[in-house]
Structure 1
Amino acid sequence: MKLRDLPLVSLRTFAVVADSGSVTAAAQTLGVTHSAVSKQVKLLERWLGQALFILEGRRLVLTPFGDILSRKLGIALEDIAGACAYVQRQRERRTITVEAPATFAMYWLLPRVSVFRALEPQTDVWVSTRMTGQSPNFAGHDLVVMRGETAPATTRLNERVFLFREDMTVLSSPRLLAGKPLANPADITSHQLIESVTRPQDWQAWLKLANVNHAIVAGGHRFDHLFVAIQAVRDGLGSSVVPRNLFQMAIANHELACPFPHLNFQGEPYFAYFAGSNIDPAMKRFKEWLVREARSQDSGLTGSAAVLEHKKHRRSTTAKREPAKQRP
């Protein structure tokens, strides 16, 4: 089937009707009459040779063929809308939109975005957060960060770049450690053990690694998300097993402390998904910067140190691009 043969108006109309579940609601969304919407749906059904809707009482319901078309068409239209939004953002000031897991965005990405903005003042970075269990919005963003090995099926953001793997260990607050110091791993039983519903096995894994009998450990706080749990740790309510590399800045600022840095295990990896082309120089620089930040964290290059490192990299890159000046 050729693209020129596709009845695009009818397909768009069908997608809106399928999404709203009502011809009347679709007509209001599209700004046309009820009869115009019905006509486009009928034209599409005649072109396909299949019924797409049936009436159950007064309710409009998708047929099995209509359901298949609706799902596939929805993905395609989201990709088209995302591509159009991407092109529109190139008009003047460059804006890069990023979606990331909430804890990653709050504690790792957002504290570093100001560093990038200082280096690239003509580029804005807008960050959206995603809760555990929510589907990533690949259509509406230039870059999506995901946790885990599973690579989703996406057509637009088709380049996957590894950032880093979680370094799981115990974090506490300096205030709590001052009152209840941890001389050896077994002393953790004097702390309330804080965990999140989204990471239910982390304490068991660390206690097993530390050879601490977790059968004698009872009590603690359990929160629905890691960013809530880490706030409780910062408030001195207890200790938690978390990805240390997400909280490097908080550790450097003495808001959190790592009592057993060598008792650690690997957690999940983080990957960034980009569009596969490098037609946008600002996006290319942001991608290079993000990967550099992720790879440099083990050497402690954050904040102003990261700025200096980035400037040094830019100078060396520029020097390589520019031809050597001829001496008179």
Structure 2
Amino acid sequence: MSQLPPLGALRAFEAVARLGSVVKAAESLHVTHSAISHQLRTLEDFLGLSLFLREGKKLLLTEEGRIYALRVRGALGDMAEATQRVLTRPRPNDITIGVLPSFALHWLLPRLPDFKAKYPQYTINLRASLGFEEMNNGLLDLAIRMGNGNWEGLQQQCLMDESLLLVAAPHFSPRPQTAAEVQTAAIITNPAVQWTNWCQAAGLADWRPKPLFTYNDSNLEIESVKLGHGLALLRRSLVSAAINAGSLVQITEIEVPYQYAYWLIWPEKSSASCKLADFSAWIIGQASDFVNGRNQ
């Protein structure tokens, strides 16, 4: 480690190499031009070679300078990432949860005050996420995901099954009164949601919607429905509260299973954690109440 040049000199060099100017580098690092020039001289003296060709006020990277700049940029990026991971690692009473944005917004957030009232010692940190990278990197205590389970290297418990129902805004007109009338209504779709089961349950096995709008995000889909753009087939967990509040209405009583369930997943090493046990017991209870109609 004794052969490492000063960090300030490396940051100054990387900024000049990336931005192509001492002036821009100084602005980027919030230092003076002379400070940048001094750091460059320090680095070149340390290395015993010139990293730039100087043509008047213009600086051009030498071939050695170009290669060095690429490696320094990568090293600084790794340092920044490592620092961020240390800063964001959960504290003992923090519960950091990775959760699907739509599920967090429409189902979990309204229920969190109940958890806080029961367990005031914990601080909840929600991270909107879809994948498993943060879990694999140790940045999450647990996550809520949709799927069929059987994720390798993770502890998991099914939280609840999901279903689909057709909804519209109360002011949507003309509002279908029967399944047959749905065929002529404006439809909003999401590629992740298949209509096959709903159509079969509605006696419309040969019909498929021709969407007026298509969104790949459930939050956009819900907002579009609330604006009166059309009908949409949506997950019950995302629309139940809005139906109860009167901002959405269910079209027909048909409700069909969704292909994926919600799962609670966590790293194997966290199995004995008290905070994990407390949150898991709470959310499983909330999910049970929701499924049984006690907490919509």
Structure 1 length normalisation: TM-score? 0.59
Q: 2:139 matched to 1:140?
A: yes
What are the Cα deviations for residues 253-301 of structure 1, in whole angstroms up to 9, with x where unaligned? 1222222333423321111112444544333211100111112212222
Give the structure 1 partner of residue 221 of structure 2. 229
In our comparison, the structure showing a higher alpha carbon Rg is 2
The question of whether the paired residues in 2 share the 8 Å contact of 1:164 and 1:294 is answered with: yes
Shift in Å, 1:194: 0.6
What are the Cα deviations for residues 12-67 of structure 1, in whole angstroms up to 9, with x where unaligned? x9xxxxxxxxxx79xxxxxxx99xxx9xxxxxxxxxxxxxxxx9x965999xxxxx
Q: Which contiguous aligned blocks of 4+ residues in structure 1 show a shift greater than 6 angstroms?
A: none
Question: Are residues 159 and 259 of structure 1, via their aligned partners in 2, closer, same or farther at CA, if it must alter by over 3 Å?
Answer: same
Counterpart amino acid of residue 96 in structure 1: I
Q: Map residues 27-106 of structure 1 onto 2, 5 A cutoff.
A: 85-86=89-90, 89-90=91-92, 94-106=93-105
Shift in Å, 1:98: 0.7
Counterpart amino acid of residue 145 in structure 1: I
CA distance in 2: counterparts of 1:218 and 1:278, whole angstroms: 47
The question of whether the paired residues in 1 share the 8 Å contact of 2:106 and 2:237 is answered with: no
The question of whether the paired residues in 2 share the 8 Å contact of 1:170 and 1:240 is answered with: yes
CA distance in 1: counterparts of 2:211 and 2:275, whole angstroms: 50
Identity of aligned residues (%): 20
Give the structure 2 partner of residue 298 of structure 1. 291
The question of whether the paired residues in 2 share the 8 Å contact of 1:203 and 1:240 is answered with: no
Query: Where does structure 2 lack aligned partners over 5 or more consecutive residues?
Result: 5-13, 16-41, 48-62, 72-77
Question: Are residues 137 and 151 of structure 1, via their aligned partners in 2, closer, same or farther at CA, if it must alter by over 3 Å?
Answer: farther
Shift in Å, 1:161: 1.1
State how many pairs are aligned. 236
What are the Cα deviations for residues 178-209 of structure 1, in whole angstroms up to 9, with x where unaligned? x3232211111232111124x1x523442243
The question of whether the paired residues in 1 share the 8 Å contact of 2:160 and 2:291 is answered with: no
Counterpart amino acid of residue 175 in structure 1: H
The question of whether the paired residues in 1 share the 8 Å contact of 2:185 and 2:231 is answered with: yes
Give the structure 2 partner of residue 164 of structure 1. 160
Question: Are residues 194 and 150 of structure 1, via their aligned partners in 2, closer, same or farther at CA, if it must alter by over 3 Å?
Answer: same
Query: SS of 1:169's equivalent?
Result: strand
Question: Are residues 184 and 282 of structure 1, via their aligned partners in 2, closer, same or farther at CA, if it must alter by over 3 Å?
Answer: same
The question of whether the paired residues in 1 share the 8 Å contact of 2:187 and 2:213 is answered with: yes
Query: SS of 2:134's equivalent?
Result: coil
Q: Map residues 181-192 of structure 1 onto 2, 5 A cutoff.
A: 181-192=175-186
Give the structure 1 partner of residue 108 of structure 2. 109
Question: Are residues 136 and 270 of structure 1, via their aligned partners in 2, closer, same or farther at CA, if it must alter by over 3 Å?
Answer: farther
What are the Cα deviations for residues 192-245 of structure 1, in whole angstroms up to 9, with x where unaligned? 111124x1x523442243232426x43411113111101111222111111113
Query: Where does structure 1 lack aligned partners over 5 or more consecutive residues?
Result: 1-8, 14-23, 26-32, 39-54, 63-73, 304-328
Counterpart amino acid of residue 163 in structure 1: L
Query: SS of 1:191's equivalent?
Result: coil
Q: 2:207 matched to 1:210?
A: no
Query: SS of 2:203's equivalent?
Result: coil
Q: 2:190 matched to 1:196?
A: yes
The question of whether the paired residues in 2 share the 8 Å contact of 1:160 and 1:271 is answered with: yes
CA distance in 1: counterparts of 2:201 and 2:295, whole angstroms: 30
Query: SS of 1:190's equivalent?
Result: coil
Q: 2:278 aligns with which of 280, 285, 290?
A: 285
Query: SS of 1:175's equivalent?
Result: coil
Backbone CA RMSD of aligned residues: 3.9
Larger displacement relative to structure 2 (103-112 or 135-144): 135-144
